Amino acid sequence: MSTMSRVALATGEPLLEVDDLRTHFDTLTGPARSVDGVSYTVRAGQTLGVVGESGCGKSVTALSILRLLPTPPARISGAVRLRGTDLLQLGEREMRQIRGNRISMIFQEPMTSLNPVLTVGRQIAETVQVHQKLNRADALKRAVEMLRVVQIPEPERRVNEYPHQLSGGMRQRVMIALALACNPEVLIADEPTTALDVTIQAQILELIRRLQKELGMGVVMITHDLGVVAESCDRVVVMYAGRKVEEADVIDLFDRPLHPYTRALMASMPSMNTHTKRLAEIPGLVPSPQEPRRGCAFAARCGYANARCRTEIPQLTRHGGDHVVACFAVEEGRIETAEETTA
């Protein structure tokens, strides 16, 4: 795949740095704090998982990075640096040169993301024409090549088909081809396996891993599926109510989850012995982003919460290596320590 070749990026090199990102929406009843001070780094060759329930701010964070939210009502602050360049300070014309080119995104539902009245080949070709300045004929050849790269059979025929003529798995592969057509440095995958059967999920995840290895991309994998995280990610950020509550290497996180919310997510995962043990559920709901922020947002659902948790907002603190967590119960020893967790 000569046209897909790229000088391999050195693993560990920071590609994307999200620093104190805040996305608030102006509403008639006050600001909605959908993202409230999130920070993380994505390195070359690394897959960063971002997990949490629906409504925790995962997708809004991704859309904020790409500046795909209307402003107003959205107000985005902080910094999003791509190789040191702050994307939040660029003009819209400069951002259009970055979206789909240096940073690409696979959206949740391909049937609503792909244009139903254009062939899949034309949609890929238009992206290449805009960013790579190829003529129409060469752009269509690139579209065929990309469909071949994502292992769609008979790409010369499929390139002339419309989204509704393809299966769900094929549409998701088209979305990946579209996202990777310009050899991006960073790929954001927002629930890339939602609504796909288990076999197709595994194929899509393996495809992303293979292409990441070949291109040296950094990948942000947004998901609520901890099985996907365990299989695909190197590092994990756990989000709750618009904030980062825990971050660790994937093995460390699964070996010793510290935050009560992370533990609750893991306890709700089905296992091989599910028939002998009732699945745990997390009581209550994620608070509305419009609710006033008093104390820890998880306190109302947490069995470890005390008066301090309900009045003060915990800050991220380090608990061995690169494992950080925002929890007074961990900080004060009211929850098992890292050593006890692994015992």
Looking at residue 245, its pLDDT comes to 97
- Low-confidence stretches of the chain (pLDDT < 70) are 1-12, 195, 271-277, 337-343
Question: What's residue 277's pLDDT?
Answer: 63
Return the DSSP state at 57.
S
pTM above 0.85, yes or no: yes
pLDDT tens for 203-236 read 888 888 888 888 889 999 999 889 889 989 999 9
Task: Note the pLDDT of residue 273.
Answer: 60
For 240-290, what is each residue's pLDDT tens digit?
999 999 999 999 999 999 999 999 999 887 766 655 567 778 888 899 999
User: How far apart (Å, rounded) are the C-alpha atoms in residues 246 and 248?
Assistant: 7
Residue type at 24?
H
Exposure string of 36-70, with b = 16+ CB inside 10 Å and e = fewer, is bbbebbbbbbbbbbbbbbebbbbbbbbbbbbbebe
Q: What is the side-by-side strand order in the sheet with 218-223?
A: 103-106, 186-190, 218-223, 47-51, 235-240, 243-249, 324-325, 317-318
Q: So what's the pLDDT on residue 219?
A: 96
Pairing state of beta strands 324-325 and 317-318?
Answer: antiparallel
330 membership: H or E segment, kind and range: helix 328-331
Give me the sign of the Cα torsion angle 54, 311, 333, 300: negative
